[in-house]
Amino acid sequence: MTWGVEENVAERFVAAGVPAENVSCERATYTFEFPGTPSEYLAEFRDYYGPTMNAYAAAAADGREAELHAELEALINEHNTAARGEGTTIPAKFLRVTVAA
């Protein structure tokens, strides 16, 4: 979970023998675009994306599948920047790490 923390990323590469000056980090944004509704977008992840499929399976085993689904739907709706009825657009910030040889 700390791959987005520059100091932690640099420490990992340095510990693996990469000189600190060969590691650079840049914050960027990737925008997820989906032509369907936020609910349809979540269904794609639920049905085809391994980590989400596993989360649903674990939640179902604990009797919390409906709770997980409600939380994920709320999260997608909260971050959807598309105008109502115009699909789903979710900007996601990430840390781009480059390691020079």
Alpha-carbon distance of 86 to 37, in angstroms, equals 8
For 36-81, write each residue's pLDDT tens digit: 999 999 999 999 999 999 999 999 999 999 999 999 999 999 999 9
Average pLDDT over residues 20-25: 96
Q: What is the pLDDT of residue 1?
A: 76
Q: pTM (2 decimals)? A: 0.78
Residues linked to residue 23 through DSSP beta bridges, in sequence order: 99
Instruction: Check the CA dihedral 55-60-61-64 and report its sign.
Output: positive
Q: What is the pLDDT of residue 34?
A: 98
